[in-house]
Each structure stands twice: as structure tokens, then as C-alpha cells.
Structure 1
Amino acid sequence: MAQRGETATRSGIRGLLSKVVLDTRPLRYPAYRRLWSSNIVSAVGAQFSAVAVPKQLYDITGSSAYVGLAGVFGLVPLLVFGLWGGAIADTVDRRKLLLVTNGGLAATAVLLWLVAAAGIPSVWLVLVLFSLQQTFFAVNSPTRGAAVARLVPTHLLPSAQALGSTVFQLGSILGPLLAGMLLPLLGLPVLYLVDAIALVAALLVVSRLPAIPPREGAPKRAGLRSVVDGFRYLGAHTVLLASFLLDIIAMVFGMPRALFPEMAERTFGDPHGGGVALGWLYAAIPLGAFAFGLLSGWLHRITRHGVGVVLAVAAWGVAIIGFGWADSLWLAVVFLVIGGGADLVSMVYRSSILQAAATDEMRGRIQGVFTVVVAGGPRLADTLHGLGGAWLGTGGAVMIGGLLVVLATGIAAVALPDFLRYRAPLGSA
């Protein structure tokens, strides 16, 4: 009897864990596993550059406004090439396009390393190279996103999105923390060099993906007409438009990363050359997303994806208000961790909506818009928060941004009832 009870207990624990812990079933598909593993290789290195660029700009100028200017230089190529890159991804073999763009990302990381190693104190040179890097990213990201639905079945898309986001968030945790420790020891140029090495390694992994050619019905050329067709398709699908709007609200008003270098020094006591506080600020949001991702096994069981997005974005806004109010590093980190968990939920459901609601011949262009919104929103936020921090102080700018997220999300939820009623297609849960 005791043995039977023990067996039942173990079975119950396994059943509970299977409902809560990260769903790894998409990794049974070799092609997706390769795409996923390429993200593991490059995730840490990418975060090294994400820390290095704003830190380099702040060291040169001593101004958060210049750090925010990087948002403009990153946003313009994202707007242009994100949309065009999505159209290209619908017309060519997506594997080949990933190889070209991964190579371009590695090359720009090498150039940024050379500038930093040579000690060239040019804000504009750094910004131009950063803009070039974002151009390659703007084409790479929608291509990578559009490939996922060809590599796993539809009912596993939420799990695949959670897996992809979780590994990215792991890199986003380790990268900033390692960067914060390495900056005072080895200097800023090493961060760019690590990014370049990681991108070359990711390129080798991507080369082992199968061909992902366009399907019948896809456009033959990636011209302006195909981009316009993508916008027409998007305009006819209110649910897709609403998912983009809510992410714009969350990121534009509520992403204060341009203020992290100044807050690390002036609020949380880092030395001028960089230190632990800077690493923790950059790592905290992905830390929350990673922790929540490990316990995301239940997300695919919920079909009310629209409601999930609305609640997650509102929770993000509340967490950002708390971060702006915090006067100690660890309290600030706690609020950012909570925000990261909320962002993970929003990302999983928004990505699943886009993958399930768009047809394959349109998926690249929709993912292009997704890239513009997801990556472009924070770039615009960099500019707004950089200016807001200079005028209002860092804490005030952050809290006002979080409050705007909560208010705008409430208005959007009332104005977009179709999105609140949206459910995942049958078989996706």
C-alpha cells in the first residue's frame, strides 16, 4: 500500500510539473531545434553589444540625451528594412536570407570592436555603425520569426514561442551581468569582440537548417507593392492590428533602458567606468522573463490570448511605475523582474496570434511589421526617455511612462472588444 501511494505521489508530481514547467515538445523537431540552438549561441553576445553601445555613448558625452539618440539611429533602419525584409522573406529561401543577415551582423560587430579598440571618441561613427547593424537585424528578425511556423505544427506554436523567448531571456540575463563584471576588468572593446565571435558561431548553426523556400502563392518580388499588400492584409485583421498597438503602448511609454547608464551611476552608486548596478538593470527584465518562461507550461492551455495580452501589458506598466519609485538597487531589480514576467506572457500570446492568424505567404511581411513594432518601439522609447530623463529626472520620467502604459492599455481594451474576445484556433491550445 505504501509503495502504491508513493507511486501515485510521484505520478501526481510529474503530472503537475508537465502542466507548469516549460513545454519542450517543439525541440523534438530537428530543424526547429537547430534554429533554437542558434539563438542560444548568439543571445549572450548580442546583449554584450546592447550594453556596450549606450555605455560607450554615455562615456563619450556624459548625457542620456545622446544615449537616447541611438534610438533614432536604430529606429529608421528598422522602419525601412523591417518592412522590406519581411517582404523579402516571403519571396526567397528563408535559410539563405538568414545566412546573409547573420553574416552582416557579425561584420558590423567586428567594426564596432575596431572603433572601440582604437579609442576613437566619435559619437557619430558609433551611431552609424549601430544603424548599419540594425539594418541587418531588421531583415534577420522577421525571417527568423516567419520560419518557425514552417518548422513546428500549429498546436505547438505557443510552446515554440515560449522556448525561443526563454533562451533569449537567458542570454539577456547572463550577457548584461557578465558585461557589468567585465567592463572594469577588460574594457568595453571586449564586449563587441565577444558579440562578433558568438554571431559567427550562430552562422555555422544556421547553415545546417533545411531549405525553407516560398510556397505557392507567394509574391515573386519584394517590391513596394508586396509591402503595401502586407499592410492591406493587416488592415483587414483587427486582431493583428490590436496586438501591435498594445505592444507599442508597452514599449514606447514603458521601456526606460536609455536611462539605465545614468541611473546606475547617479541613483545606485556605480563608478564612472561601469559596474554591477548597470549589469543588474539590464539583466533584471530578462531575468523575470526567463524565470516565468521556465514555468510557462500552462500558457498553451489558455485560449483567451487577447485577454492575456491586455492583462500582461497592464501588469508591465504597474511594474515600471514601481521601478521609477524605487530608491534602492534591489527593490528596482524586483520591479523589473516582475515586469519581465509580464512581458514574457504578452510576447508569447502576441507571437502566437501572429503565427496562427497570418497565412504563410503573408507571414514574412506580418513578421516584418512585428519586428518594427517589437524592436522599433524600444528605440523610440530610448529617444523619449532620454529626453524625459534630462528634463524631468530619471525617476519622474520612468513613473510617468508606466502610468501612461496603464491608462492607454485600459482605453485600448475598451475600444477593441474584438481583441478581448479573440481565442486561439481549435487545436492551438
Structure 2
Amino acid sequence: MCDGPAEGTPVEGTPVGEAPADGGAPDDDGPPPGSRSPLRGMLPDLSPLRSSREYRLLWSAGAVSVLGGFLTYVAVPLQVKEMTGSYLAVGLIAAAEIVPTIVFGLWGGALADSVDRRRLVLASELGLGLLSVMLLVNALLPEPMLWPLYLFVALLSALDGLQRPSLDALVPQVVAHDRLTAAAALNSLRWQIGAIVGPSLAGVLVATGGVETAYALDVVSFAVSLVLLLRLRTSPPPTGGEKPSLRRIAEGVRYARSRPELLGTYAVDAAAMFFAFPNTLFPFLADRLDAPWSLGLMYGAGAVGSMLVGMTSGWTSRVHRHGRAVAYGAAVWGLAVAAAGWTSNVWLVLLCLTAAGGADMVSGLFRSTLWNQTIPDELRGRLAGLELLSFTVGPQCGQVRAGTAASLVGVRASFWSGGLMCAASVGLLAAALPKLMSYDARTDEHAVRMRELRRERQEQP
């Protein structure tokens, strides 16, 4: 549970982003530079959680949802594997997610710039919870059906596409500009903890109580998350917001095209995930290595690496060339996945997957910071929709690629070939996108403009 405000209780209905009733505005400056010890400077910056009630609620609700979501993330492919024994059938789970994610991610971004973001988040969360109930009901049938799994996964992706842009667009509203890197690190840390605990817990639950137990706990997680999200203040659309339309979506696309450094982050992430996201093959790799006990560890290894970076993320606020960090992290991710495919020792595989997770954390952290520090609020929802496509469609297509490649050349070859292609493609993109590699948050015109706008809003009475 998140802590309440330091003093008093904000009045329900106060718009997100306005000064809290307790006077603890999300833009307070915190300790002066240089006041921290070197060790403390490496620890995560918790100031977004301390200074913003809204961010505490968002973070806490997300932590519960992430934990429950990872239970289903492991249970669905495992259930399909047990029902079919097919590489392709498992890979098609991701295929069922692709079109709904694209369509509803773009539409959800337009909605986030046109409606109350809090209401959209709540409605989507309720729908996601109901779909989780349906997965549970199907699993409890005497003979569970296969086709509903693909249908439910597609619907889950559609609702997630509607919700995610609003969630992402809320963060810059409730967290100070200079603390957005810290907020990104905390969001990643939340995900990492869920990615470690969730798969490990799912492995135990599925082994002892079946997939239905994992689905049941996911239902509970949605209920808790919904209660937390209900406490958020209203979040009216930006001034001048219009009804969602294809024209509005096109405006967001045109803005992204005008920003080569933004396009570069999308392209690097999409390439990294397409070529080197082999998670759908973990059940088969564990069998190939004669280590079925390692399945949960494989799903959690990347999160361990990410968490190690997140727990020492104090250094990230001193990095200003975010584009380079995005590219370097993505290249190391690919090389680590390739190494996991080369080795036949399960412990080395887990070590490589851990290294891959750490590199992905670095890339994702600075990608998120670049987005949040430079995109205007009136475009934030639509750009968040494009971001959603870059970091969800890539993994979904990557799982299809991994499953198809495994059926043709084998599981381990699918790993190492994809990892090498990832590193090569990131290198080509870095060479082709000089704006990405030269980006500097201290001097970039968009970052400077957004920093000045936030300062002006803070100074207003």
C-alpha cells in the first residue's frame, strides 16, 4: 500500500498535475547537489515517490498489476505448450497480440489526449480484470479450450493498448521534469521485482495447483490495483484537446517524424526486440538443457539483471547523452542473448540472460527519459501510443520470429542468430541516425523548452 500525503488529504476531484493540497508539490528540489555520499548517490532516487501522492498511487497499483500479469504471462504459453506441444502454437500467442496492439495502441494514444486519462485507465483496468476471470473460467473447464486463449490474449492486448498511453502520459504530469529519469528507474524497478517474483511464483503455483491458480491470483491483483487507481484525482485532457480521429493520430506521427532522435529510439528498440526476444522458447530451452526446474529462473533472470541496474541507478541522473545509452544498451542486449544460445551450461545461460536484462534496463531507462523530457503534454498520449508499439509490437513479432526460427534451425540457433542480428542492426541504425547519437539533454532544444515550461508552471501562484 502506498503512503498517504504528509499533511492532510487532497480534495477528491482535484486535477492531476495541480499542486497537492498538502503543499508537497511534485517539483520540490530535494537535497542540494553534492550533499549525498558516493554510496547513496548510487542508490535509487526515491524523490518521485516522496514528493508526489499521485505517483505513489500509480506506482503501487502498477506493482500489484505487474506481479499478477507475470503470473498470466507464464501460465498462458505453458498451458498452450501442454495442450499442443508445438513451438509454432506457442509463438502464435504473440501473433494474436500484434494487430490489437497496433490498432488500439494508436487509438488509445489519441484518446489519452482527448479524455480524462484517469477514467480511461480505470475502465481499461476493469476490462482487463474481467478477461483474467475468463481465463480462469476456461482453465477450470474439464477440457479447457485452445481457441479462447488466443482470443483472450488478443483482447488483453487491445485493452492494454487503450490503457498504456494514458498511464505513460500521467507520469510527466505528476513528476518534476528533472526527476523523470528517477521515475523511469522506479517504474523499471517495479517491473523487475514483478518479473522476478511473478515467474518464480507462477512456476510453483502451476506445479502445485495448475494454471488456474495463477489465473486466480491475477484476478485478485486486478481488484487491488483497481482500488488504488480509484484514489487518483481526475486528469482532464490538455487544453484544446479534440475528439480522437485519424487526423489526430496523423499529427502525432508527423511530430515523431520531425524528431530523428525520437524515431531512432523507436527503431533501435523495435530492432532489438524483433531479433532478440526469445522468451517464448524458454520452456523448450529448459527441456533441451535437461533442466525443467530452470524455467522460472529463465523468465526471471533478465529481471534480476535489470534490478541490479535499477538498484544502483543513482548514476543515471548524471548521464546526458541518452541516445548513445539507448544504442549501447540494445547492442549489449543482443550480444548477451547470442551468448545464451551458444552455451549449453544452464548456469551460464542464466548468467547471460541476467546480463541481457541489465543492458535492456539501461536502454529502456534512457529511452523513457528522452521521451518524457522532450514531448509536449498535448501530444504526450499520441506519442505514448507510438511508444507502446515500439516496445510491445517488437517483442510480439520477436516471439513469432523466435518460434519460427526454432522450428527451422532449432532452439539454440534461434537464440544466437537473433542476438547477432540484433547487435548488427543496432550498429547500422546508430550509423544512420547521427541525431540520436549526438542528443544531449542539456542543450537539446526540445528538452530545454520543456524544462522552461515546467519551471514556469511551478512558479505560477
Calculate the TM-score normalised by the size of structure 1: 0.93
Higher helix share: 1
Matched-pair contact (CA < 8 Å) for 1:268–1:328: no
Matched-pair contact (CA < 8 Å) for 2:286–2:295: yes
1:163 aligns with 2:190: no
Corresponding residue for 2:295?
Answer: 278
Deviation at 1:287, TM superposition (A): 1.3
Corresponding residue for 2:418?
Answer: 401
1:16 aligns with 2:38: yes
Corresponding residue for 1:361?
Answer: 378
1:353-408 deviation digits (Å, cap 9, x = unpaired): 11122110110011011111111111111111001111110110110000001111
1:336-363 deviation digits (Å, cap 9, x = unpaired): 1111111111111111111122110110
Corresponding residue for 1:189?
Answer: 212
Of 204, 207, 229, the residue aligned with 2:251 is 229
Q: How does 1:68-147 map to 2 (within 5 A)?
A: 68-147=91-170
Aligned length: 411
Counterpart residue identity of residue 245, structure 1: A
Three-state SS of the structure 2 residue aligned to 1:122 is coil
Distance 1:38 1:17 in 2: 30
Distance 1:214 1:82 in 2: 18
Deviation at 1:82, TM superposition (A): 0.4
Query: For the structure 1 residues 259 and 13, does the alpha-carbon distance in structure 2 shift closer, same or farther, using more than 3 Å as the test?
Result: farther
Which structure 1 residue ranges, 4+ long, deviate > 4 Å from structure 2?
none
Q: How does 1:247-396 map to 2 (within 5 A)?
A: 247-270=269-292, 276-396=293-413
Query: For the structure 1 residues 317 and 16, does the alpha-carbon distance in structure 2 shift closer, same or farther, using more than 3 Å as the test?
Result: same
Of 418, 425, 435, the residue aligned with 1:418 is 435
1:124-183 deviation digits (Å, cap 9, x = unpaired): 111001111111111111111110000011111111011011011100100001111221
Corresponding residue for 2:267?
Answer: 245
Deviation at 1:14, TM superposition (A): 5.5
Structure with the bigger RCO (C-alpha within 8 Å, sep 6+) is: 1
Q: Taking every aligned residue pair, what percent have the same amino acid on both sides?
A: 36
Corresponding residue for 2:16?
Answer: none
Counterpart residue identity of residue 287, structure 1: V
Counterpart residue identity of residue 415, structure 1: A
Deviation at 1:13, TM superposition (A): 11
Deviation at 1:40, TM superposition (A): 1.4
Query: For the structure 1 residues 85 and 119, does the alpha-carbon distance in structure 2 shift closer, same or farther, using more than 3 Å as the test?
Result: farther
Query: For the structure 1 residues 278 and 13, does the alpha-carbon distance in structure 2 shift closer, same or farther, using more than 3 Å as the test?
Result: farther
Three-state SS of the structure 2 residue aligned to 1:298 is helix
**What's the Cα RMSD here?**
1.4
Matched-pair contact (CA < 8 Å) for 2:291–2:346: no
Deviation at 1:121, TM superposition (A): 3.8
Counterpart residue identity of residue 179, structure 1: A
Counterpart residue identity of residue 303, structure 1: H
Matched-pair contact (CA < 8 Å) for 1:268–1:277: no
Matched-pair contact (CA < 8 Å) for 1:93–1:211: yes
1:25 aligns with 2:42: no
Deviation at 1:268, TM superposition (A): 3.5
Structure 1: runs of 5+ lacking an equivalent: 1-11, 271-275
Q: How does 1:198-217 map to 2 (within 5 A)?
A: 198-217=221-240
Distance 2:143 2:187 in 1: 36
Distance 1:80 1:86 in 2: 10
Query: For the structure 1 residues 57 and 158, does the alpha-carbon distance in structure 2 shift closer, same or farther, using more than 3 Å as the test?
Result: same
Deviation at 1:217, TM superposition (A): 2.9
Calculate the TM-score normalised by the size of structure 2: 0.87
Distance 2:117 2:208 in 1: 40
Distance 1:222 1:18 in 2: 45
Deviation at 1:326, TM superposition (A): 2.0
Matched-pair contact (CA < 8 Å) for 2:122–2:229: yes
